[in-house]
């Protein structure tokens, strides 16, 4: 019999906390945390509102991707549509639908939760919900006006197998693209197929939301 593992919520005692930096969307927090041996360790980490990302899969098993310059890593990365949860308690599905429209001018009829991840839990509390969107079509109305790095974005549709190959070859590095594509590939090969994925409105304890 295989061993089932799962993450569990815990909250160790914090004896002191301060926020030395608060930015436009994220910040830095310093907590003094009581360790199991009774000692106190100082932990610095980024506070983050959370994000959503969308693996948009068309009827030819192509994934909608975009390339965007990311200054911290000094690279133009291929990514999937994604964005911040700007409003506390915002429904992540609504946010994902908005991002797919704004970044790709595409809508989808079928939505599922693909996977939930913490991007860097040792240094940030950022949580990302990655959706699978299918039955794609062009969105109605005018395209969303873009600016800054988004003004230089390229859009493409790439076969899922090519993205998986690129990820394993070290040619693609965006977290949500790699995790989402590998998860989708695993789901397509699994016994239950894509119908076994969680419904789009499934609970998300990392970022509770209203209906």
Q: Read off the pLDDT band of 210 (50, 70, 90).
A: confident
- pLDDT computed for residue 147 by the predictor: 53
The pLDDT tens digits of the residues spanning 144-163 come to 565 555 668 899 999 999 99
Task: Considering the candidates 126, 135, 138, 150, report the single residue annotated as catalytic.
Answer: 150
Q: Look at residue 162 in the predicted model and tell me its pLDDT.
A: 98
Q: 135 with 60: CB under 8 angstroms? A: no
Residue 146: the pLDDT is 56
Q: What are phi and psi of 92, to 5 degrees?
A: -65, -30
pLDDT in tens, 45-82: 999 999 999 999 999 999 999 999 999 999 999 999 99
**Contact yes or no for 184/55 (Cβ under 8 A):** yes
Residue 123: predicted pLDDT: 96
The DSSP call for residue 86 is -
Q: Output the pLDDT for position 192.
A: 86
Q: pLDDT tens, 77-101?
A: 999 999 999 888 899 999 999 999 9
Alpha-helical segments (H) within 124-174:
160-168
pLDDT digits (tens, 9 = 90+) for 182-191: 999 999 998 7
29 pLDDT exceeds 60?
yes
3-state DSSP percent of the chain in helix, strand and coil, to 5: 25, 40, 35
Instruction: Kindly state the average pLDDT of the residues 18-29.
Output: 94
Domain borders along the chain are 14-47, 51-199
Superfamily of domain 51-199: Nucleoside Triphosphate Pyrophosphohydrolase (3.90.79.10)
Task: Check if 210 is active-site.
Answer: no
Cβ proximity of 111 and 200 under 8 Å: yes
Distance between alpha carbon 200 and the CA centroid of its chain, in Å?
14
pLDDT (0 to 100) of residue 152: 80
The predicted model scores a pTM of 0.93
On the question of pLDDT at 143 being above 90, the answer is: no
């Amino acid at each position: 019999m295989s061993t089932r593992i799962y993450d569990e919520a815990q909250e160790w005692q914090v004896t002191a906390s301060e926020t030395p930096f608060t930015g436009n969307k994220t910040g830095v927090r310093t907590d003094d945390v009581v360790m199991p041996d009774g000692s106190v360790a100082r932990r610095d980490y980024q506070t983050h509102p959370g994000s959503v990302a969308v693996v948009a899969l068309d009827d030819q098993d192509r994934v909608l991707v975009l390339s965007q310059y990311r200054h911290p890593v000094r690279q133009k990365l291929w990514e999937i549509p994604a964005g911040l949860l700007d409003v506390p308690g915002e429904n992540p599905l609504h946010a994902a639908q908005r991002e797919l429209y704004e970044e790709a001018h595409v809508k989808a009829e079928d939505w599922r939760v693909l996977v939930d991840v913490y991007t860097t839990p040792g240094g940030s509390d950022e949580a990302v919900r990655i959706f699978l969107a299918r039955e794609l079509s062009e969105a109605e109305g005018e395209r969303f006006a873009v600016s800054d790095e988004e003004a230089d974005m390229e859009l493409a549709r790439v076969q899922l197998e090519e993205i998986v190959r690129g990820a394993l070859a070290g040619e693609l590095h965006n977290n949500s693209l790699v995790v989402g594509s590998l998860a989708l590939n695993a789901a397509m090969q699994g016994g239950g197929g894509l119908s076994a994925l969680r419904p789009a409105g499934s609970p998300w304890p990392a970022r509770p939301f209203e209906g």
